[in-house]
Chains A and B, each alone.
Chain A
Amino acid sequence: MTRTAVQAASVPAPAQRKPRPRPPILLYTVVIAVSAFAVLPFVWMVLSSLKPLTEIFGQGFLPQNPSLDNFRRLFAETPALRALFNSFFIAILSTAGSLLFCSLGGYGFAKFNFPGKNALFSVMLVSMTIPFVVGLIPTFIMMRNWFHWIDTPWPLVVPGLANAFGVFFMRQYLSTVPDELLDAARIDGASEPTIFFRVVVPIITPALASLGIIFFMASWNNYLWPNIVLRDPNAQTLPVLIAGLQGSAGRTPYDLMMAGAVVSVIPMLIVFLALQRYFYSGITAGAVKG
């Protein structure tokens, strides 16, 4: 006791540990500065979207006559509404489908034994280390020559249903579900599909929410693959459409692009504000696997 007290007295700042000492100015300065750095581009995005093109390249900060004209023109002159719908359609369908396939697969791996299980699981784990671009060219050829799926949503939905990371993620989570619960349902005479949908799914809802957010965000913001398979502007997703605007007519329509950027960010922002907790848990659960 005495020794600690004496030592503590000789240490300058952190010796006193009251519940809430005076505000740590330095920490606030750092946190406010970094938050400003993080948020400023969003502010700039929104401000620019309210300015006419000449003013975007002017020296002002706030728009002189803020107007939603860029947004009106975006929806009138480009198929942005269609792109917004395409983005939602693809993101929702691929998220729902992937969640179903991944939780079924994860359940099979976590709670059953069958011949070849370990081999299959190893193949799946190894496949996660192969970069996307290695399969890119053949997948494109398959989509074009075999399935004839260019300019349809399917290349963005179907291959992603088999998501090795998702199966792994669900398997880890399902391993924590006690076997007794499933056995009890079996003794009660429930069939295996009933057990999955009535017993397992309600338990794994938090994991589905976390994984679902990761899938939705990945689909919503995806650019490389949709840019390859969606050439027709009416089939494009929002990021592809916005990026494609710069190619048109020599002069880049930054006014429309900034409006498009704002439109593409808002849905993610709403999902984030509504489900913040699951964002963080999904991301950190993904990290634990490392």
Chain B
Amino acid sequence: MSRPLDLPAFARPARPARRRKHLWPMLFIAPFFVLFLVFGVYPVIFSAVLSFQEWNGAPGQQVWVGWQNYASLFQDRYFWSSMTNSVLIFLLHFPVMTLGGLVLAVILNENRLRFQGLWRAMIFLPHLTSMVAAGITFRLLFERDSGLVNRMLGGVGIPAVPWLDNEWWARVAVGILLVWAWTGYQMVIFLSALQTIPGEVNEAALIDGAGRVQVFWKITVPLMRPAIVFVTTLSVIGTFALYTEPVILTGGGPIHATTTPTMEIYAQAFNNIRYGYGAALSYVYFAIVVAATLLQLRLTNRGQG
């Protein structure tokens, strides 16, 4: 069994063959890499340059303004309130969604439950939906007088909630849409993580007299830590990047209560045609998301190794 490609270096017929050996992998990677440089790397650099300019997009009209965009950005209360809105929307939906996803995964992992595939499919279904379609539907559901939600609440004697007309309720409404769209996704991830935990671990604990709630908090949750950290990171980044859901459901209102950073950057760049300022916003936004992600990883990994 001679393997011609694994000969030691000194035995190889020197240069030309070596160059040919590198030719194919380079060609395999080239299509990806050319596009990656043009549409991945270049715009990010271009954006950094743009953030020091004022430009309305007309060719040759760029004006170098130094740090001025960054300076005025710190006075921009709409931008900062969009950041706060993201944090609030995150706090409103993340605990419900993640705890819900975990509990559902544990339930669907029970072999006492039948039709597991059916439940999993139904709960996962919202994740497939375009957020435009879902946003319009939720707008009808949250309608003050004719919306199904208020009518159901009315059925049990709760007065109508001004879902889309009140700052706080609008944030809750966006949160509910996010819980609806993402709980099934988290459940699927947690379910696959759960299936790597041997069943004996839980059974041993149960036999030793632990209650199911105790097993959940003391055994299941710690064993699933990597999956929980993953979805948390994804949610932090995803909530800051939120766009379609609030645009369609609330239009960012009322009174900017559900405007997100991406909406703010979009508005500055494409409504006010301030490309330079938009680029500066996007870089500060990027820095804050990185900081938030690092902070979150520190918190979620605390006490680990």
Residue numbers of A with Cβ under 8 A of B are 4, 7-8, 10-11, 14-15, 17, 20-21, 23-24, 27-28, 30-31, 34-35, 37-42, 44-45, 48, 56-59, 61, 100-102, 104-105, 107-109, 111-115, 117, 120, 123-124, 127, 129-142, 144-145, 158-159, 161-162, 164, 167, 183, 186-187, 192, 196, 217, 220-221, 223-224, 228, 238-239, 242-243, 254, 257-258, 260-262, 264-265, 268-269, 272, 276, 279-280, 283-284, 287, 290
Contact = CB atoms under 8 A, between A and B. Distances in A.
Interface residues of B, number: 103
Nearest to A107: B28
B203 interface: yes
Contacts of B305: none
Given A196-B28, A265-B128, A31 B107 contact: yes
Contact of A115 (B22, B28, B248): B22
A134 B286 CA distance: 7
B100 to A, nearest CB: 7
A114 B26 contact: yes
Interface of B: 3-5, 22, 24-26, 28-29, 31-36, 39-44, 46-47, 50, 57, 59, 100, 103-104, 107-108, 110-114, 119, 121-126, 128-134, 136-138, 140-141, 143, 145-146, 148, 151, 180, 183-185, 188-189, 192-193, 203, 206-209, 212, 226-227, 229-231, 233-234, 237, 240-241, 243-244, 247-248, 261-262, 265-266, 269-270, 275, 278-279, 282-283, 285-286, 289-290
Contact of B39 (A4, A14, A123, A159): A159
Contact of A7 (B24, B39, B207, B244): B207
Contact of A290 (B25, B121, B134, B230): B230
B180 A258 contact: no
- Give the interface SS of chain B, mostly helix, strand, loop or mixed: helix
- Give the interface SS of chain A, mostly helix, strand, loop or mixed: helix
